[in-house]
Structure formats: C-alpha cells, structure tokens
Amino acid sequence: MNYRFSDASNNTPKSFIREILKLTQSDEIISFAGGLPNKAFFPIAAIEAATVKVLENDGANALQYSTTEGYLPLREFIANRYKSRGVHVDPKNILITTGSQQALDLLGKAFLNKGDYVCLERPSYLGAIQAFQMFQPQFQEVDLTATGIDLPELEQQMAAKQAKFLYAIPNFQNPTGLTYSLESRQNLAEYLKRSGNLMVEDDPYGELRFIGEHLPNVYSFAPENVILLGSFSKVCAPGMRIGWMVANDAVMERLVTAKQASDLHTPILTQRILAQYLADNSLDEHIKTIQAAYFEQRQAMVEALHQYMPEGVTFTEPEGGMFLWVTLPKNCPAMSLFPIAVKHKVAFVPGEPFSTEGKTSYDIRMSFCTVDAATIVEGVKRLAAAIAELTNQ
C-alpha cells in the first residue's frame, strides 16, 4: 500500500527525545535525558482519594460529555492562583487543555498558515517546534542571552519576517534553564505593545523556582499581546494531561473552536479529580516539597560539573525548573559525544533537536529532576570520562 501522507506529516520528524529515551531505558544507564518529573512526588494516595470522592459524589456528571472551555471550579482555581500573585485573570479567559502541549497545537490551528514565520528563542523547546511544524511554518530563531531574548534582534526579525508570534519560555527555559530578568520582561512587553505583536509565553516551570524571587509573567505587563500557557504536569502529575491557556476574549473564541475540532474537551473525569485534589490538599505545600528536592539535585549537578568537567566546558546555573545546559569545547560535538556517553552508561540530549537551523551543536541538555543527588554525581563523573575519551585527554 502506498500511503499518501500529508506534506505536514512527511515534513515533521519523529520526536528525537522519544527515540533517545528508548535507547536509555536500561537500568544501568544514568539518564539526564528525559524531562520526566520525579515520580517520587506524585500524590498517589491523594489522587486516589479524590477519584473515589468524585465518583461517589457526582460520578454520572464526571463521566458525561462536558464543555470545551473546561471545568469551571478548576479555571477558578487557576484564576485565584494568578490573583495571589497580583495578576487579574477572569476564569472566562482560561481554557483547559490536554496538557500545554495541546495548547501549542491549538495555537498552530488558530494562527498559522503554511509559510508563516514564527520567532523562537535560540535554542527552543523541541515539542513546540514539532507541534508548530505540523502547520508548515518557517522558523526564525533569535538569540537567548543570560537575561532574556535579544530584543533588538527580535524587533528586527519580527518586522522583517512579519512573524505571526514569538514563542518563548521566560522561566527556567527548556532546554537552557535560563530566566528573563524583570527588566527584560518589561522591555519585551513594551515592545509588544508598541509594535502590536503577539507573544506566546509558555510557563510550565514558573512555580518551580528554588533560588531568588518570583518574577511576574510578561503577560502581566501586556495582557492583550500575550497568550500565556500553564500546566499541572510539573507541579502535580504529567499523566493527568491538564494544562491551560490564558487569552483575551477575541482569541479565546478562536481557541475554543479549534479545541472543539480537536477533542471536544479535555477529559472531564481527570479535570474533576484534579479539582477535588486541589480543594482537599495544599498545592503550595506540595510544590515546596518538589522545590526542595529539585534544589538539592540541582546543587549536586552544579557542584559535580564544577568539580569534574574539564577546562573549556561551561554550563548554566538555573534558579528553578528541571534543566541545565552544558556547552562543550569545539572538539566535542554533542552528537559524537552521545554514543560514547551511552557506552559510559550516561545519557543526555544533544542540542540539535532544540533548533530548527540544522547546525552541529556543542551543547547538551541535562535534566536534574529525575535522579537523586548521589546518582547525579556518578553520572557527571561518567560524562567527564566520555568527554575525555572523545577529546583524547
């Protein structure tokens, strides 16, 4: 059978990380590759109790079709969380999505025609690249510095390419772990308002800050010009597949129609269970536990990198989130290092899939959230041995 697949499908590569994860699933390999939240912190008993409660109290409605916008008490919970940070969001401007990954797909549906430009940070989240690729846009990457996106370059590229939107992750970015400064957020918001451009602010990691003060979302400075995405994946459990989008009325209408066409609504059963869990437990307390563990693991990784990496290797020191970004010497391409590292029983994600430019990468993404501190130290030692082997030291 000769299947006549669409151009979009033909042009969208398989997720590189999923392929890598298959390779690194052996128990012997210490994997810094996956972006999997630490399963030790999944609130299993509390979710079980919430499930029983929902089914016993209102099982029929929890199993019935529901509204596309999402379960109102859950949207109210999200709105109240923004309020506690001083940001006014009306629950009617929150759309519950099947993970924030679905939000990326809906944005493609609502905004992208074939050939349109999307601006991305260099590097960017590969899942967003993949989601947008289904709509056959063109990508323009803009440098990401230690304090935020390069604004003069962004202004120039957005204007030259008439880009539909900027997609960016200002908090503890995936893959680099970098965070925009307050000034950079304000300047970006001013630029968006001045130029009438749109930003998609993806924020699944904002609550996972373990160093320094919380910084306001870009959305809070320019709500008309920003669509803000959030997720329960990193603060509760990714298997629930519950995220959300914040958008003004005009955009909401388009997104709701796009979502209707995709899946009618996010499973109401899981929305109800999550809402019950959030009503009966303190999310803040739960997040504190996760933050404390990730902080310890981040410290272990940063200290081990300082201790064991050879000269010429640099790395980011994130204030939150799950990842850091290691830049290797020029005689150490990430893709060449990967098989040697797997031989030394350690894995990471080479930088290539985080860019649309197809260049050789000398960067690797390391996740510090999945394995404990002692294992992290051992993994970094193995990584150092792999680098030594590749560079003949």
Footprint of ligand PMP on residues 157-176 (CB under 6 A)?
A: 169, 174
CB closer to ligand PMP, 116 vs 203: 203
| Region near ligand PMP per CB under 6 A, out of 55-63, 80-88, 97-105, 308-316 | 97-105
Handedness of CA 68, 73, 74, 76 (dihedral sign): positive
In angstroms, give the least distance from the CB of 310 to ligand PMP. Answer: 29
Cβ atoms 200, 167 nearer than 8 A: yes
Binding of ligand PMP at residue 297 (CB under 6 A)?
A: no
- Candidate list 34, 37, 137, 204; residue touching ligand PMP; CB under 6 A: 204
Query: Using CA atoms, how far apart are residues 164 and 3, in angstroms rounded to an integer?
Result: 32
Q: Give the x-and-dash track for 234-273 against ligand PMP (CB under 6 A).
A: ----x----x------------------------------
- What count of Cα atoms within 13 Å lies in the side-chain half-sphere of residue 315? 25
Distance of alpha carbon 212 from alpha carbon 257, whole angstroms: 40
- Pull the structure tokens for residue 341: 């590292």
Residue 201, CA distances (Å) to 104, 144, 168, 175, 180 in order: 11, 15, 5, 15, 12
Please tell me the count of residues contacting ligand PMP according to CB under 6 A. 14
Closer Cβ to ligand PMP, 169 or 274, answer by number: 169
- Residue nearest to ligand PMP according to CB distances in the complex: 99
179 binds ligand PMP (CB under 6 A): no
* Binding status of residue 101 toward ligand PMP by CB under 6 A: yes
- 């609504």: which residue's tokens? 265
Is 353 a binding residue for ligand PMP by CB under 6 A? The answer is: no
Cβ neighbourhood burial of 1 (10 Å; 0-12, 13-18, 19+): exposed
Which residue in the set 32, 82, 111, 125 belongs to the binding site for ligand PMP (CB under 6 A)?
125
| 127 lines the binding site for ligand PMP (CB under 6 A) | yes
- Smallest separation (angstroms) from ligand PMP to the CB of 336: 26
**Contacting range for ligand PMP; rule: CB under 6 A; set: 59-67, 230-238, 338-346, 376-384:** 230-238
* Residue among 215, 120, 122 nearest 168 (CA): 120
Residue 223 sits in the site that holds ligand PMP (CB under 6 A): no
- 3-class state of residue 251 by DSSP: helix
Determine how β-strand 226-231 pairs with β-strand 199-202: parallel
User: Among 37, 99, 123, 137, which residue interacts with ligand PMP (rule: CB under 6 A)?
Assistant: 99
Phi and psi at residue 100, to the nearest 5°: -75, -15
Query: Please, which residue, 127 or 320, has the CB nearer to ligand PMP?
Result: 127
35 binds ligand PMP (CB under 6 A): yes
**Pairing assessment for the beta strands 363-367 and 323-327 based on DSSP bridges:** antiparallel
Stretch that binds ligand PMP, among 98-106, 155-163, 267-275, 356-364 (CB under 6 A): 98-106
- What are the CA-CA distances from residue 214 to residues 85, 150, 158, 320 (Å)? 9, 22, 28, 10
Instruction: Please list, residue by residue across 186-218, b when 16 or more beta carbons sit within 10 angstroms of its beta carbon and e when fewer do.
Output: bbbbebbeeeebbbbbbbbbbbbbbeeeebbbb
Task: Assign 168 to helix, strand or coil.
Answer: strand
Nearer of residues 176 and 384 to ligand PMP, judged by Cβ: 176
The window from 94-102, 213-221, 252-260, 332-340 that contacts ligand PMP (CB under 6 A) reads 94-102
Q: Cα–Cα distance between 266 and 218 in angstroms, integer? A: 27
Of 93-101, 176-184, 250-258, 368-376: span binding ligand PMP (CB under 6 A): 93-101
Shortest distance (Å) from residue 4 CB to ligand PMP: 30
Residue 231 C-beta: closest distance to ligand PMP, Å: 3
Contact footprint for ligand PMP (CB under 6 A): 35, 99-101, 125, 127, 169, 174, 202, 204, 231, 233, 238, 243
